[in-house]
């Protein structure tokens, strides 16, 4: 079921909300939790009810194993639990890819299994692995299966995140305040939901029309020329930005309607000045999971192994190239390799992950070099900041070409087009500008009818939204929305740009919501991009 569908907006959400609070306000807290879990399973089963037993079995097994680990610490049992979760994910998500790869390498012709990936399997697998690890470490214990089931299945985050952590969610389920409607939470939740819906149906879906022709053409053997390649790549960068941030806003907003706060997952990543900052702003809960449960343990293991051999570890300003390579580059590239593979079973996703691993390694090397020279880490000047943001954005666009392309050759075809190797063709409207025609033709460029002016203007407008306006969390920064956010650390906007619970803002949001809902209900709803992961 899609957040932008009539079935959800007019049917499922109102019914789930009314029954939950009807039970909660009468003191039937356990029944309200069970109801919301059952409603979440119905929400999940709307796509394919055959996979509901798989989700329930996974929850039951991990809950039982987590309870066992919290009482009796057993490393073999923990490893068996992690392996079981990964093997299940591997079968559904990577079996076909592995068989295809074996065929390509060996020349064999093994039949490729056609296995449908259960919706959201990557997300709930990560959540449950984190629960097992923390149960083993003694920092997680849950004796209420109803609460655990709600933690895993809570429908706002179930399909595409945020990836929640038990210490954030489970205490909220024991708070009696969530079982009574809270006007402030409802107002903020509806506002966030409408903002996300506007991003999805008005911005992301508009940009999607310019993406498919370029990427599908490249997959079909039609290399795009310079202008088309750049427009396709830029349009996809904007599509996934508004699509994913829109889903995150809607998920957090729906959670607030039920009195529950989800963690932040998106914080204007295209405003980042470097790739390290980008990953602290993009899919923030995935970055948190990878850092806590993969990068840190791997880096710690490598550091201990190095120290046992009498070799120095990392030292601020004095790190040797060998230490940097072993303790920073290796865990970084390996972590991002697995992050790319987590996103999809294909070499293009692996290329996306490795490329970001290399980006991060270069970024860390630059920081290490600056520290060794005693240079300041950031520059307050506007021009260097703008250059840094633009450079980071271009690096992200290049990686996203692999992320969206059907294959590595298709991605290379688009990147070649962006370099002008498939035809250095510019839109003919530029030839009318003073001096452009003579300069461009001298450099070997050609002119041809380009995209409509309206498309170019919309892309410019989308970029202005991304780079100049506050994001939804900043706009609502006077109030706590996502878990852990507060007015102290939120980037609040004073004056007219700061949302307040007034009639004027209610009218503005209401009008925007009317047009967004009208747009959503007037056509077949489109899936969110992260549903495929």
pLDDT, tens only, 5-24: 999 999 999 999 999 999 99
Listed residue (104, 191, 228) closest to 513, CA to CA: 191
pLDDT, tens only, 28-54: 999 999 999 999 999 999 988 989 999
Query: What pLDDT is recorded for position 382?
Result: 60
Most confidently predicted of 94-103, 291-300, 302-311: 291-300
- Angle between helix 145-153 and 121-136 (nearest 10): 140
* Higher pLDDT pick, 281 / 379: 281
Whole-number average pLDDT of the chain: 88
Statement: the pTM of the whole predicted model exceeds 0.85: yes
* Residue 62: CA count within 13 A, CB half-sphere: 29
Kind and range of the H or E element at 426?
Answer: strand 425-427
Sign (positive/negative) of CA torsion 455, 467, 234, 238?
negative
Maximum C-alpha span of the chain: 78
pLDDT at 492 over 60: no
Listed residue (79, 62, 265) closest to 152, CA to CA: 62
Query: What pLDDT is recorded for position 460?
Result: 92
Query: What pLDDT is recorded for position 317?
Result: 63
pLDDT-based confidence at 491, cuts 50/70/90? Answer: very low
Distance CA 143, CA 170 (A): 11
pLDDT-based confidence at 490, cuts 50/70/90? Answer: very low
Sign (positive/negative) of CA torsion 99, 101, 102, 108?
positive
Contact between 411 and 391 (Cβ < 8 Å): no
pLDDT, tens only, 224-261: 988 889 999 999 999 999 999 999 999 999 999 999 99
Query: What pLDDT is recorded for position 348?
Result: 95
Query: What pLDDT is recorded for position 249?
Result: 95
Contact between 417 and 223 (Cβ < 8 Å): yes
Look at 105-114, 205-214, 393-402, 505-514 and tell me which has the smallest mean pLDDT.
105-114
Instruction: State mean pLDDT over 155-176.
Output: 87
Q: What residues does 263 pair with on adjacent strands?
A: 483
- Identify the three-state secondary structure at position 282: strand
Instruction: State mean pLDDT over 502-528.
Output: 87
Q: What are the residue ranges of helices labelled H in 72-111?
A: 75-106
For the annotated catalytic residues, the residue numbers are: 343
pLDDT at 396 over 70: yes
Q: Which residues contact 27 (CB under 8 A, 6 or more apart)?
A: none
**Cβ–Cβ contacts within 10 Å for residue 504, how many?**
9
Query: What pLDDT is recorded for position 493?
Result: 45
Query: What pLDDT is recorded for position 415?
Result: 96
Listed residue (163, 280, 199, 256) closest to 471, CA to CA: 199
pLDDT, tens only, 456-480: 889 999 999 999 998 998 888 888 8
pLDDT at 488 over 50: no
Query: What pLDDT is recorded for position 29?
Result: 92
Contact between 96 and 70 (Cβ < 8 Å): no
Scan for tokens 């004056």, then name that residue: 495
Query: What pLDDT is recorded for position 390?
Result: 95
Query: What pLDDT is recorded for position 489?
Result: 44
pLDDT at 318 over 90: no
């Amino acid at each position: 079921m899609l957040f932008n569908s009539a079935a959800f907006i007019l049917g499922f959400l109102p019914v789930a909300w009314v029954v939950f609070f009807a039970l909660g306000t009468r003191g039937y807290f356990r029944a309200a939790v069970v109801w919301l879990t059952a409603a979440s399973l119905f929400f999940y089963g709307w796509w394919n009810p055959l996979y509901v037993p798989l989700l329930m079995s996974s929850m039951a097994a991990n809950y039982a194993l987590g309870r066992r680990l919290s009482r009796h610490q057993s490393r073999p049992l923990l490893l068996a639990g992690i392996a079981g979760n990964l093997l299940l994910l591997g079968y559904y998500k990577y079996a076909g890819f592995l068989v295809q790869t074996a065929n390509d390498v060996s020349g064999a012709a093994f039949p490729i299994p056609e296995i449908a990936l259960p919706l959201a399997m990557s997300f709930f697998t990560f959540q449950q692995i984190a629960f097992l690890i923390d149960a083993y470490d003694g920092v997680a214990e849950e004796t209420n299966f109803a609460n655990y089931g709600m933690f895993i299945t809570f429908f706002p985050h179930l399909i595409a995140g945020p990836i929640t952590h038990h210490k954030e969610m489970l205490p909220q389920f024991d708070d009696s305040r969530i079982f009574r409607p809270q006007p402030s939470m409802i107002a903020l939740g509806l506002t966030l939901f409408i903002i996300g819906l506007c991003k999805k149906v008005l911005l992301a879906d508009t940009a999607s029309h310019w993406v498919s022709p370029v990427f599908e053409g490249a997959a079909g053997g039609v290399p795009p020329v310079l202008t088309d390649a750049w427009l396709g790549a830029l349009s996809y960068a904007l599509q996934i930005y508004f699509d994913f941030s829109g889903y995150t806003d809607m998920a957090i907003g729906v959670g607030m309607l039920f009195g529950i706060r989800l963690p932040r997952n998106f914080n204007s990543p295209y405003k980042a000045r470097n790739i390290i900052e980008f990953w602290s702003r993009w899919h923030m809960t995935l970055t948190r999971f990878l850092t806590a449960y993969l990068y840190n343990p791997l880096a710690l293991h490598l550091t201990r192994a190095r120290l046992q051999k009498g070799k120095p570890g990392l030292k601020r300003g004095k790190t040797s190239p060998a230490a940097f390579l072993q303790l920073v580059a290796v865990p970084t590239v390996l972590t991002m390799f697995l992050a790319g593979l987590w996103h999809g079973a294909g070499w293009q996703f692996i290329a996306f992950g490795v490329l970001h691993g290399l980006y991060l390694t270069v970024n860390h090397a630059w920081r290490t070099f600056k520290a060794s020279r005693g240079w300041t880490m950031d520059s307050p000047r506007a021009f260097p900041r703008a250059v840094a943001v633009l450079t980071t954005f271009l690096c992200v666009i290049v990686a996203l070409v692999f992320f969206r392309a059907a294959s590595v050759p298709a991605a290379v075809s688009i990147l070649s087009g962006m370099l002008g190797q498939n035809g250095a063709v510019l839109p003919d409207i530029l030839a009318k500008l003073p001096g452009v025609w003579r300069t461009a033709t001298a450099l070997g460029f050609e002119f041809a009818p380009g995209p409509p002016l309206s498309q170019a203007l919309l892309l410019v407008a989308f970029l202005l939204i991304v780079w100049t306006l506050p994001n939804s969390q900043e706009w609502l920064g006077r109030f706590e929305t996502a878990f852990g956010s507060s007015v102290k650390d939120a980037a609040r906007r004073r004056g007219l740009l700061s949302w307040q619970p007034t009639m004027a803002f209610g009218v503005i949001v209401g009008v925007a919501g009317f047009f967004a809902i009208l747009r959503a209900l007037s056509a077949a709803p489109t899936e969110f991009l992260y549903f495929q992961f």
